[in-house]
Amino acid sequence: MKDIETLDTLNQLKIDLQGDVSSPLGFIAGGMHVGLRRKKKDFGWIYSTTAAAAAGTYTLNRFKAAPLKVTEETIKNNQSLQAIVVNSANANSCTGEKGIQDAKDTQAWVAEHLNLSKESVGVASTGVIGSFLPMDKIQHGTQNVLKEQYNQSEFFNQAILTTDTFTKHLSVQVEIDGITVTIGGTAKGSGMIHPNMATMLSFITTDAKIDADTLDNCLKQTIDNSFNMITVDGDSSTNDMVLGLANGQANHNKLDTLHPDWEKFEYALNFVSQYLAKSIAKDGEGATKLVTAKVKGANDVAEARKIAKSIVSSSLVKTAIHGEDANFGRIVTAMGYASEDIEPSQTNVSLCNVPVVEDGMSVEFDELHLKKQLEADNIYIEASVGNGEGAASAYGCDLSYEYVRINASYRT
């Protein structure tokens, strides 16, 4: 796991960087190789020993992949899941009615195998768009869900990856009613990553006691500060999905927004989502650096988000950071086309803590010093754009030769 900032600003969490979706009470995860990829694991599952309240957030892409449609419908009807299966290498997207049927068959096979109702099973896919799932291999996978030799959560963390170079997971613990509650998460990137849900799957589990609607609301707010604030290449995929499961096994008093420890839970969920989101950005295809853009002084949060996202989305900013070049003009340019409300004369920008623009004008700085700072793995861009209350952070990565190499030859 690469170095991702883990700033528990409120000092309320016990953080386990080895943790994942299997960390909370009652959750088991596993994965195996069924033959969708050459050698790597390509089929994984999450299972809760008891029914879990379920919430989901799905891509806004109009071409929503079949497994998303099926899982969204399932959660809408049942608000609860007990198992999720995920395959990599094939997105089951642009596959029409047959794709929907394939996703439903997968769901039914898992349900039958685990003796659950179909409405207790979620399905997810990631990979190449426009091919049918090889259903014999998928069926083979479904028959092996929960087989002991495959029940290692690290196998799950691996099985959902595509071009990712490292697994992305952690867990945190927080006290609710004096009882330890665990939240775990596992995610994958790493191309087609952009605000509004990208080619990205993320699964968050918890043993907290919370109903599906409350979980759903909390998850959606969390996502706006995390997964919706990352970008790798500006493409929002057909398969993005974040699923949350809460099985209540920690057995505290049920959480809702009036619970005295509600904010602690919210904080912990936010922390997990932000960590996973930053991991995805840092592992963007071909990325060598994590870029964080913090914007303040905007009229409102929405404007701050637009400006911050624009900075980390700009190909010219991304290549300059790859080249470790203090090309602040590109940062200002990306801000200037993001928002009509920006007032140039009130705009200040610093790069790696070095002021480069003040009141909309370039300022002199020590080129050699800044060049040295730009060699770091984590690059911080901070900007203020006025006197407003709006602030936001966005996360991205540099744009490298490697990005082009990966994507010029991905499908074939």
Q: Which residues bind its own copies (CB under 8 A)?
A: 60-64, 91, 93-96, 128-131, 191-192, 194, 196, 233-238, 313-316, 319-320, 322-323, 325-330, 332-337, 339-340, 342-344, 347, 356-357, 359-362, 367, 399-401, 403-405, 407-412
Q: Consult the annotation and say whether 188 binds a ligand.
A: yes
Q: Nearer to its own copies by C-beta: 132 or 257? A: 132
Token duo for residue 10:
């409120």
Q: Consult the annotation and say whether 324 binds a ligand.
A: no
- Minimum distance from residue 318 beta carbon to its own copies (Å): 8
Q: What is the DSSP letter of 119?
A: G
Q: Nearer to its own copies by C-beta: 15 or 128? A: 128
- Helix (H) or strand (E) holding 332, with range, is helix 328-336
32 vs 151: CA distance, rounded Å = 9
Q: Consult the annotation and say whether 412 binds a ligand.
A: yes
Return phi, psi of residue 199, to 5°.
-70, 85
- Determine how many CB atoms are found less than 10 A away from the CB of residue 366: 11
- Minimum distance from residue 368 beta carbon to its own copies (Å): 11
Q: Which listed residue (59, 186, 199, 238) is catalytic?
A: 199
Q: Nearer to its own copies by C-beta: 131 or 373? A: 131
- Minimum distance from residue 383 beta carbon to its own copies (Å): 12
Q: Which residues contact 276 (CB under 8 A, 6 or more apart)?
A: 168, 169, 170, 185, 186, 187, 202, 204, 226, 227
* CA-based nearest residue to 290, from 282, 279, 300: 282
Q: Nearer to its own copies by C-beta: 200 or 356? A: 356
Pair 1, 167: CB distance under 8 Å: yes
83 vs 151: CA distance, rounded Å = 13
Range list of H helices, 152-194: 153-159
55 vs 331: CA distance, rounded Å = 37
- Minimum distance from residue 245 beta carbon to its own copies (Å): 27
- Minimum distance from residue 330 beta carbon to its own copies (Å): 7
Q: Nearer to its own copies by C-beta: 236 or 274? A: 236
Whether cis (ω within 30° of 0) applies to the bond prior to 362 is no
Q: Is 199 a catalytic residue?
A: yes
Binding residue numbers for substrate: 162, 188, 199, 285, 407, 412
What residues are annotated to the active site? 199
Binding residue numbers: 162, 188, 199, 285, 407, 412
